[in-house]
Structure 1
Amino acid sequence: MNPVIETILQHRSIRRFKEKKLDREKIEMIVKSAQAASTSSFIQAYSIIGVTNQAKKDKLAELAGNQAYVAANGHFFVFCADLHRHKVIGEMEKENLDESIESTEKFMVALIDAALAAQNAALAAESMGLGICYIGGIRNDLKGVKELLKTPEYVVPLFGLAVGYPDQETDLKPRLPLEHVYMENEYQQDRQKFEEQLKDYNETTSDYYRERTGGKRADTWTGQMAGMLGRKSRMYMKEFIEEQHLNKK
Structure 2
Amino acid sequence: MNTTIETILNHKSVRAFKQKHLTSEQVKQLVEAGQAASTASYQQNYSIIGITDNEIKKAIAKNAGNQPFIEDAGHLFIFCADLYRNKKMSEELNLDIEKTLEGIDATIVGAVDASLAAQNLVIAAESMNLGVCYIGGVRDGIIEISNLLEIPDYVYPVFGLAVGYPDQENEKKPRIPFEGIYHENKYDKSKIDIAKQFDKDTKDYYSKRLGKAVNRSWSKTAVTSLYNLPRTFIKDYLNNKGLAKK
- TM-score under structure 2 normalisation? 0.96
The letter of the residue matching 1:186 is K
Aligned-residue Cα RMSD (Å) equals 1.2
- The aligned counterpart of 1:225 is 222
Separation (CA, whole Å) in 2 of partners of 1:234 and 1:196? 29
Residue 211 of structure 1 pairs with residue 177 of structure 2: no
- The aligned counterpart of 1:70 is 70
Separation (CA, whole Å) in 1 of partners of 2:62 and 2:20? 22
Do the aligned partners of 1:207 and 1:218 also contact (CA within 8 Å) in 2?
no
The 5 A counterparts of 1:37-186 are 37-186=37-186
Separation (CA, whole Å) in 1 of partners of 2:89 and 2:135? 31
Q: CA deviation at 1:143?
A: 1.0
Alignment deviations for residues 126-150 of structure 1 (CA, whole Å, 9 cap, x no partner): 1100000000001112110111100
Alignment deviations for residues 210-233 of structure 1 (CA, whole Å, 9 cap, x no partner): 111001534122222332223353
Separation (CA, whole Å) in 2 of partners of 1:108 and 1:42? 15
Pick which of 209-218 and 171-180 moved more.
209-218
Separation (CA, whole Å) in 2 of partners of 1:195 and 1:161? 31
Do the aligned partners of 2:13 and 2:169 also contact (CA within 8 Å) in 1?
no
Q: Gapped runs of 5+ residues in structure 1?
A: none
The letter of the residue matching 2:92 is M
How many aligned residue pairs are there? 246
Q: Secondary structure at the match of 1:112?
A: helix
Alignment deviations for residues 44-96 of structure 1 (CA, whole Å, 9 cap, x no partner): 00000000000000000000111001111100000000000011101211222
Q: CA deviation at 1:197?
A: 1.1
- The aligned counterpart of 2:234 is 237
- TM-score under structure 1 normalisation? 0.95
Separation (CA, whole Å) in 1 of partners of 2:65 and 2:91? 39
Do the aligned partners of 2:40 and 2:109 also contact (CA within 8 Å) in 1?
yes
Q: Gapped runs of 5+ residues in structure 2?
A: none
- Aligned-pair identity (%): 44
